[in-house]
Amino acid sequence: MTDPTPHATEPAQLLAAHGHQRKYPKGAIIITQGDPSDAIYVIVSGKVKVYVSDDDGREVVLAVHGPGDYIGELSLDRRDRSASVMTLQDSVLSYVSHQAFRDFLTKDPEAVFDLVLRLIGRVRATTDSLAGLAMMDAYGRVSRLLLDMAVEQDGHLVVPEPMTQQQLADRVACSREMISRIMKDLTDGGYVRIEDRRIHIERKLPARR
């Protein structure tokens, strides 16, 4: 469920210049699901998560975005926000009003194309994620997430972002208790090791158990 779109592209940088920069601490709620739409944001620095939650507080993370990404672009239809957004670290975002955004798109065809490509990328990512959730068991979803997030370091795959078991659970839509059992099995089986709160993938992960 990572965002496949490119980061820090020129159209995003130009759009950010049309807004007002705001600083947010880690854990700040930028957008609340169900609230009226009033603007689009460009991430200047930091990282945010996009998520949905129910009345019981259960949460599913839809995506994580970083510098150069748009968030809240669906607000152009003026409907209520479809998801919430929270900062994962201290962040700076540019707040761009609807009118400023529309004026920017009217004057810059390249920006329109960039936005369309990003939307297509996110639709594809969502489709792939839903297919994965439907066709994989919990082991498969965890394996896929870890591989999607991993980067190569010194010839080994490492998930660079420290993640708690609850964060993993939120990303794959299962309970923290299930994640605890899966990670224990993966560690005991020699598939992964955890060092300095980072997950190192030692060998091919199982698709199911």
> What would the mean pLDDT of 177-203 be, rounded to a whole number?
89
Q: Got the DSSP string for 111-156?
A: HHHHHHHHHHHHHHHHHHHHHHHHH--HHHHHHHHHHHH-EEETTE
Of 133, 160, 184, the residue that ends a domain is 133
Residues 22 and 46 in one domain: yes
Q: What is the pLDDT of residues 2-21, one digit of tens each?
A: 444 444 447 788 888 888 99
Question: 83 pLDDT exceeds 80?
Answer: yes
pLDDT digits (tens, 9 = 90+) for 14-67: 888 888 999 999 999 999 988 888 888 999 999 999 888 777 667 778 888 899
Q: Does residue 179 share a domain with residue 99?
A: no
The Cα-based distances of 9 to 15, 58, 59, 64, 107 in angstroms read: 10, 34, 30, 17, 17
Residue 2 forms part of a structural domain: no
Indicate if the pLDDT at residue 206 is higher than 80.
no
Considering the domain architecture, whether residues 109 and 144 belong to the same structural domain is answered as: no
Same domain, 124 and 170: no
Let me know whether 129 and 141 are in one domain: no
Residue 125 pLDDT > 80, yes or no? no
Residue 175 has a CB neighbour count (10 Å cut-off) of 13
- Check pLDDT > 60 for residue 175: yes
Please report whether residue 121 resides in a domain: yes
Do 67 and 46 lie in one domain? The reply is: yes
Residue 85 has pLDDT above 90, yes or no: yes
Residue 132 pLDDT greater than 70, yes or no: no
Q: Given this model, what pLDDT does residue 73 score?
A: 74
3 within some domain: no
**Same domain, yes or no: 125 and 168:** no
Q: How high is the pLDDT of residue 20?
A: 92
User: Which long-range CB contacts under 8 A does 172-180 form with residues at least 24 apart?
Assistant: 172/133, 172/138, 172/141, 172/142, 172/145, 173/60, 173/133, 173/141, 174/138, 174/141, 178/138, 179/142
**Domain at 126, CATH number:** 2.60.120.10
Contact 30, 94 (CB under 8 A): no
- CATH number, domain of 186, equals 1.10.10.10
Asked whether the predicted pLDDT for residue 128 surpasses 90, the reply is: no
Count of the separate structural domains present in the chain:
2
Closest Cα partner for 62 from 49, 72, 44, 75?
49
Where among 101, 118, 133 does a domain terminate?
Answer: 133
State whether 125 and 33 are in the same domain. yes
Identify whether 23 is part of a domain. Answer: yes
Nearest CA among 40, 50, 48 for reference residue 95: 40
Q: Average model confidence (pLDDT) for the chain? A: 81
- Domain hosting 160: range is 137-201
Judge whether 181 lies within some domain: yes
Query: Do 33 and 113 reside in the same domain of the chain?
Result: yes
Q: Are 107 and 32 in contact (CB under 8 A)?
A: no
In this structure, the answer to whether residues 148 and 67 fall within a common structural domain is no
CB 174 within 8 A of CB 141: yes
**Percent of the chain surpassing pLDDT 70:** 84
Question: 18 and 91, same structural domain?
Answer: yes
Residues 17 and 102 in one domain: yes
Does residue 18 belong to any structural domain of this protein? yes
Assigned domain for 206 exists = no
> Is 35 contained in some domain?
yes
Q: Which residues pair with 198 in a beta bridge?
A: 195
Query: Quick one: pLDDT at residue 7?
Result: 44
Domain boundary among 133, 167, 191: 133
